[in-house]
Amino acid sequence: MAAAPEIKTERLLLRQFRSGDVDDVFAYSPDPEYGRFIPVPHPYELHHAEEFVAQAILRPVSDPMWAIVHDGRVCGAIELDVDKLNARGEIHYAIARNLWRQGVTTEAARAVVCYAFEELQLRRIFARADVRNIGSWRVMEKLGMKREGVLRSNRVVRDESVDDMLYAILRDEFP
């Protein structure tokens, strides 16, 4: 199985997950704030990190997922669910709390959006975030995404119905 290409940015390496990444994933994932708006198990145990990394390794290259590596350690993940038929993709990301508000997520997301538009020739990239997750809204806005609306009761996280904010950007809008 082919892997998604490595992407290098000023501070980051985006690469395929490896089995040796379990300890890094387990270092940040149990933090309740990290998992506050995303569907990670709570409490988060080592076997959850092992399962996550195994699933990431087996993810098809047609829907790439990258480990975000900062200072030599995996500190998060970013993925792109590709809909080739409609030339669009949905981006998802999560980063360790100690790197919040440092531009790391935006840097990784910008690289993936650039890859999606330039290499995959997608015409639209969209993202969703829990309406309470203002930090994620800011990432999307820094990418040039426009708010398109609220998806009411769009998903369930830990038995709670969640409204999602929807943002998107078209290829000709991306700087």
Structural domain contains residue 1: no
Per-residue pLDDT of 118-161, as tens digits, reads 999 999 999 999 999 999 999 999 999 999 999 999 999 888 99
Q: What is this structure's pTM?
A: 0.94
- Indicate if the pLDDT at residue 80 is higher than 60: yes
Peptide bond into 43 cis (omega under 30): yes
Structural domain contains residue 162: no
Mean pLDDT of 108-117: 98
Structural domain contains residue 34: yes
Count the domains in the chain.
1
Give the domain CATH number at 28: 3.40.630.30
- Indicate if the pLDDT at residue 79 is higher than 70: yes
Q: Tell me the three state secondary structure of residue 116.
A: helix
pLDDT recorded at residue 108: 98
Structural domain contains residue 151: no
CA 172 to mean position of chain CA atoms? 22
Structural domain contains residue 42: yes
Structural domain contains residue 29: yes
Structure token pair of residue 19: 């089995």
Range of the domain at 99: 7-124
- Indicate if the pLDDT at residue 1 is higher than 50: no
Per-residue pLDDT of 10-68, as tens digits, reads 999 999 999 999 999 999 999 999 999 998 998 999 999 999 999 999 999 899 999 99
Terminal C-alpha separation, the chain: 33
Structural domain contains residue 108: yes
